[in-house]
């Protein structure tokens, strides 16, 4: 293709600029502090309000394709739950979600000294969404039976007193799909359990009506939501993963806006040259 | 770093660079790794369905704990495949019909628990605090039947709405009705009022699509950030489940 605004060379240069804008904050000493939204704060407060006799269910439905958003969300939520000593259970209706969750939880358990089985448990990958959720309302240990390693749940202290939906203080669905609707329809709604959602940014507009109606108590809006949540847990200037990554995304937004303005200026100039000739 | 971790990190880095090679131009290496990823993801899903669900919850009870009756779900499931045999295809409809019935029942519950609260939430107060729309009429009727009015007709409509909430409620109701008008196809939009409302509804839809597109850009950038973080900063941490 000929040289010009639409040429291969221009396109590749833009990709390189984008890569540089992303990579720069990785090595910078400062971050862009996030402004905490109402939805992230509401979810933070919902986690804080869970009493010690109840468990938080963290349903991880994502695969490798969306770890850019769902993994920082998971990490931010786990950081908060481990820091405040909340009991939580990982599970998922996607095979990879609980595996990613286990890896993050193992990493953070060392940081906060929260051993597996006492503070948190991994119920593992489950199939048959509707049947599992409906069964969980009446009998959680009978539905899950063992953890992801095959250990009977009765042997894990974290499960003490956890019998049915009444013992779940909050369910948070970290998801790039509409599975949160199943959680709402078949578990949170009928079981009277509070629910939060950590969706990918693409899904955010669809979820606002559920926030307005009170069916969802809070939401993490993609990577931005993860960064906001981390700022609530660690402070606005913390160099945690979500805040650092969101700084990179902000840099790309600045670059894209600058390029749009530049592109328009060049186009107007070219049009004037064409008119003059 | 152990040998296995190193191998997963190298495989992840090579795969990432191969997928990024599309940014330079379309090439066979990109295609190969794209198909590899799809195949791996499918295979991994099948393996986990067996190892995490079928093996511990079906195979072990049936073969090691003597619960032979778990054979029946398997045999019933096999009826699905009779769809490929013309003479026996009716058997597959037994399974399909049962599952459709279960799905329909579950969906019916979802309407009650998921959508009914949405409908209820759309009924929003649109009047300012302590505003009595019928105060004048109420006074007239009260002159004739004071006991009835005092007992059954409230003097005002109490609510704790702030001015911002009141405006917000009006915005929600106007947009809700105009968007619903746009999707109302039972009659032709001839009336200028209906046409105007539908046009306004379409504009509101376009604005919401614009917001979704903006969020999509942010989502895609986040994915690029995670891959570059893996390549430049923390290959071990994001090498994937290990």
* Strand ranges for B100-222 from DSSP E: none
User: B-chain residues within 8 Å CB-CB of A252?
Assistant: 221, 224-225
Measured in angstroms, the CA of B4 and the nearest CA of chain A are apart by 16
User: A-chain residues within 8 Å CB-CB of B224?
Assistant: 18-19, 22, 68, 252
Is residue B184 very low, low, confident or very high in pLDDT (cuts 50, 70, 90)? Answer: confident
Residues contacting residue B82 through CB under 8 Å, at least 6 positions apart: B88, B89, B90, B91, B92
Residue that is written with structure tokens 């969020």 in the block: B215
- Count helices and strands (H / E) in chain A: 11, 6
- What pLDDT is attached to residue A243? 94
User: A-chain residues within 8 Å CB-CB of B36?
Assistant: none
Measured in angstroms, the CA of A276 and the nearest CA of chain B are apart by 36
Instruction: Inspect the interface and report whether the beta carbons of A201 and B114 lie closer than 8 Å.
Output: no
Q: pLDDT digits over A5-53, tens only?
A: 668 888 899 999 999 999 999 998 889 999 999 999 999 999 999 999 9
Average pLDDT over residues B64-81: 92
- What tokens were used for B57? 């919850």
Whether residue A142 lies within 8 A of chain B, CB to CB, comes out as no
Q: Is A216 exposed, middle or buried (0-12, 13-18, 19+ CB in 10 A)?
A: buried
Q: Which residue of A has its CA nearest to B112?
A: A185
User: B-chain residues within 8 Å CB-CB of A171?
Assistant: none
Measured in angstroms, the CA of B54 and the nearest CA of chain A are apart by 10
pTM of the full structure: 0.86
Do B95 and B80 contact (CB within 8 A), yes or no? yes
Q: Is the pLDDT of residue A1 over 50?
A: no
Phi-psi region of B124 (alpha: psi -120 to 50; beta: other; left: phi over 0): beta
- Please report which helix (H) or strand (E) contains residue A219, including its range: strand A218-219
Q: Is the pLDDT of residue A75 over 50?
A: yes
Do B231 and B16 contact (CB within 8 A), yes or no? yes
Q: Is the pLDDT of residue B241 over 50?
A: no
In sequence order, the β-bridge partners of residue B233 are none
Is residue B113 very low, low, confident or very high in pLDDT (cuts 50, 70, 90)? Answer: confident
Q: Is the pLDDT of residue A3 over 70?
A: no
Q: Which residue of A has its CA nearest to B108?
A: A185
- What pLDDT is attached to residue A171? 97
Q: pLDDT digits over B84-101, tens only?
A: 999 999 999 999 999 999
Residue A100 to residues A3, A95, A240, B221: CA-CA distances in angstroms? 45, 10, 18, 21
Q: Is the pLDDT of residue B132 over 70?
A: no
Q: Which residue of B has its CA nearest to A72?
A: B226
User: B-chain residues within 8 Å CB-CB of A24?
Assistant: none
Q: ipTM of this predicted complex?
A: 0.88
Q: Which of A215, A248, A253 sits opposite B117 (nearest CB)?
A: A215
- What pLDDT is attached to residue B57? 86
Distance in angstroms (rounded) separating the CA atoms of residues A147 and A123:
4
Which A residues 216-275 touch B at CB under 8 Å? 221-224, 245, 248-249, 252-253, 256
Is residue A106 very low, low, confident or very high in pLDDT (cuts 50, 70, 90)? Answer: very high
User: B-chain residues within 8 Å CB-CB of A133?
Assistant: none
Residues contacting residue A248 through CB under 8 Å, at least 6 positions apart: A21, A22, A23, A24, A25, A26, B221, B225, B228
**Mean predicted lDDT score pLDDT of chain B:** 87
Give me the percent of chain B exceeding a pLDDT of 90: 50
Distance in angstroms (rounded) separating the CA atoms of residues B150 and A195:
42
Q: Is the pLDDT of residue B70 over 90?
A: yes
Q: How many CB pairs under 8 A join A and B?
A: 143
- What pLDDT is attached to residue A113? 95
- What pLDDT is attached to residue A192? 93
Distance in angstroms (rounded) separating the CA atoms of residues A199 and A173:
8
Average pLDDT over residues A91-115: 94
Is residue B128 very low, low, confident or very high in pLDDT (cuts 50, 70, 90)? Answer: confident
- What tokens were used for A189? 């709604």
**Mean predicted lDDT score pLDDT of chain A:** 93
Average pLDDT over residues A154-178: 95
- What pLDDT is attached to residue A156? 95
User: A-chain residues within 8 Å CB-CB of B218?
Assistant: 201, 222-224, 249, 253
Q: pLDDT digits over A118-158, tens only?
A: 999 999 999 889 999 999 999 999 999 899 988 999 999 99
Q: Which of A68, A103, A185 sits opposite B114 (nearest CB)?
A: A185
Q: Which domains does chain A have, with CATH numbers?
A: 8-28+249-276 (no CATH), 38-238 (3.40.50)
Instruction: Inspect the interface and report whether the beta carbons of A214 and B45 lie closer than 8 Å.
Output: no
- What pLDDT is attached to residue B124? 82
């Amino acid at each position: 293709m000929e040289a010009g605004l639409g040429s291969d060379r221009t396109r590749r240069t833009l990709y390189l600029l984008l890569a540089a804008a992303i990579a720069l904050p990785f090595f910078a000493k400062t971050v862009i502090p996030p402004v905490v939204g109402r939805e992230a704060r509401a979810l933070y407060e919902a986690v804080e309000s869970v009493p010690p006799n109840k468990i938080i269910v963290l349903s991880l439905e994502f695969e490798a394709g969306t770890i850019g958003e769902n993994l920082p969300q998971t990490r931010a939520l786990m950081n908060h739950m481990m820091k405040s000593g909340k009991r939580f259970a990982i599970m998922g209706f996607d095979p990879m979600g609980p595996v990613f969750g286990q890896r993050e939880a193992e990493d953070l358990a060392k940081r906060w000294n929260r051993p597996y089985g006492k503070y948190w448990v991994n119920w593992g990958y489950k199939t048959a969404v509707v049947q599992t959720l409906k069964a969980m309302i009446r009998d959680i240990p009978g539905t899950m039976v063992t953890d992801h390693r095959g250990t009977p749940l009765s042997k894990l202290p974290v499960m003490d007193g956890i019998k049915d939906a009444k013992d779940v203080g909050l369910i948070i669905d970290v998801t790039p799909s509409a599975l949160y609707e199943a959680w709402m329809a078949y578990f949170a709604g009928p079981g009277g359990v509070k629910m939060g959602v950590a969706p990918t940014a693409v899904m955010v507009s669809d979820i606002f009506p559920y926030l307005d109606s009170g069916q969802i108590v809070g939401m993490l809006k993609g990577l931005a939501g993860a960064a906001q949540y981390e700022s609530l847990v660690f402070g606005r200037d913390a160099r945690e993963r979500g805040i650092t990554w969101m700084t990179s995304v902000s840099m790309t937004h600045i670059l894209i806006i600058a390029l749009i303005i530049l592109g328009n200026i060049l186009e107007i100039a070219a049009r004037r040259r064409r008119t003059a000739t | 770093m152990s040998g296995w971790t190193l191998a997963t990190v190298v495989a992840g880095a090579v795969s990432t660079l191969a997928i990024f090679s599309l940014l330079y131009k379309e090439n066979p290496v990109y295609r190969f790794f794209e198909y590899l990823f799809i195949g791996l993801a499918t295979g991994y899903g099948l393996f986990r369905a067996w190892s995490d669900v079928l093996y511990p919850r079906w195979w072990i009870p049936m073969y090691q704990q003597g619960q032979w009756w778990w054979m029946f779900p398997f045999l019933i499931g096999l009826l699905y495949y009779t769809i490929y045999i013309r003479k026996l295809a009716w058997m597959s409809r037994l399974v399909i019909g049962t599952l459709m019935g279960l799905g329909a029942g579950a969906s019916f519950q979802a309407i009650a628990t998921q959508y009914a609260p949405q409908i209820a939430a759309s009924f929003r107060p649109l009047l300012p605090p302590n505003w009595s729309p019928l105060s004048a009429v109420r006074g007239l009727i009260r002159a004739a039947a004071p006991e009835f009015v005092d007992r059954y007709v409230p003097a005002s409509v109490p609510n704790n709405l702030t001015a911002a909430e009141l405006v917000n409620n009006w915005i929600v109701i106007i947009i809700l009705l105009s968007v619903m008008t746009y999707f109302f196809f039972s009659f032709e939009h001839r009336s200028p009022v209906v046409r105007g409302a539908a046009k306004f509804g379409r504009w509101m839809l376009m604005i919401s699509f614009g917001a979704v597109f903006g969020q999509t850009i942010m989502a895609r950038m986040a994915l690029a950030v995670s891959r570059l973080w893996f390549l430049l900063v923390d290959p071990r941490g994001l090498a994937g489940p290990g």
